[in-house]
């Protein structure tokens, strides 16, 4: 029997917009995931009085092959549309995301200097892949739609594909390069939360992000017992507390 390519289909993964107070927070999910990934954090923020939106990236919550038909610019446009919906309701808006979602939040903030703050959870500024792996990905992408995830740890709170769409992964790498070139132009208050046990992103790139942005207020918080999906793992309550504390301070 063929292994399933979608995990936890019972969770809610559609785009959402939850009304709250005058400050909006945009939360973007990661590559191969859905909005289920950011909903626990979104609920905490909404209960704290924020208006919260979570866009669904094109190609997700469907089939892995559909991700291969989208570009990183398509993802950025979906995030931009959600941002505009929030701006129409809220005089100030914070943008954030998990992994690829964090990159899209950084990209959006570079396009919109009026963004009030940035929340970057396990930002995928560089995947933990060597040059040979990247070359193999480029060679295989035209011929194989996806490959199975080998380092996947099941999480009852996470929803998404159990495989990596290869052409979609190439778009992620293009997004990485685009965002790296924009770091020096970022000035907004920035919170980075990163799991020490993350086997997906290169932790040195996380430190590069913290070092190269021009933000006067920037914090890098390490979670010692968390892996890649830091907003859904065992230290998530501490991540939520850190996030609320950061927003209370920088938005005051």
99 dihedral zone (left: phi>0; alpha: psi -120 to 50; beta) = left
Q: Are strands 218-223 and 190-195 parallel, antiparallel or unpaired?
A: parallel
The domain locations on the chain are 6-251
| CB count in 10 Å sphere of residue 185 | 12
Tens digit of pLDDT per residue, the chain (252 long)?
345 689 999 999 999 999 999 999 999 999 999 999 999 999 999 999 999 999 999 999 999 999 999 999 999 999 999 999 999 999 999 999 999 999 999 999 999 999 999 999 999 999 987 777 888 888 888 888 898 888 777 899 999 999 999 999 999 999 999 999 999 999 999 999 999 999 999 999 999 999 999 999 999 999 999 999 999 999 999 999 999 999 999 998
CATH class of 6-251: alpha beta
**Is residue 155 exposed (0-12), middle (13-18) or buried (19+ Cβ within 10 Å)?**
middle
Please state whether the predicted TM-score (pTM) of the whole model is above 0.75: yes
| Segments in 192-232 forming alpha helices (H) | 203-212
Relative orientation angle of helices 131-140 and 166-180, to the nearest 10 degrees: 130
């Amino acid at each position: 029997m063929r292994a399933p390519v979608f995990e936890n289909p019972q969770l809610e993964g559609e785009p959402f917009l939850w009304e709250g107070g005058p400050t909006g927070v945009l939360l973007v999910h990661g590559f191969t995931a859905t909005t289920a990934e950011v909903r626990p954090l979104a609920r905490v923020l909404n209960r704290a009085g924020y208006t919260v939106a979570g866009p669904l990236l094109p190609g997700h919550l469907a089939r892995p092959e559909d991700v291969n038909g989208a570009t990183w610019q398509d993802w950025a446009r979906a995030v931009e549309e959600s941002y505009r919906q929030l701006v129409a309701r809220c005089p100030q808006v914070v943008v954030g995301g998990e992994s690829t979602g964090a990159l899209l939040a950084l990209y959006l903030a570079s396009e919109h200097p009026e963004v009030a703050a940035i929340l970057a959870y396990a930002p995928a500024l560089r995947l933990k892949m060597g040059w040979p792996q990247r070359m193999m990905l480029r060679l295989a992408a035209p011929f194989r739609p996806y490959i199975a995830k080998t380092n996947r740890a099941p999480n009852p709170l996470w929803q998404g594909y159990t495989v990596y769409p290869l052409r979609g992964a190439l778009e992620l790498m293009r997004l990485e390069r685009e965002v790296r070139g924009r770091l020096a132009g970022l000035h907004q208050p920035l919170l980075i939360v990163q799991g020490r046990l993350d086997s997906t992103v290169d932790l040195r790139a996380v430190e590069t992000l913290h070092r190269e942005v021009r933000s006067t207020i920037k914090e890098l918080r390490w979670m010692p017992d968390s892996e890649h999906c830091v907003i859904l793992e065992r230290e998530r309550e501490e991540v939520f507390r850190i996030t609320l504390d950061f927003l209370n301070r920088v938005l005051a």
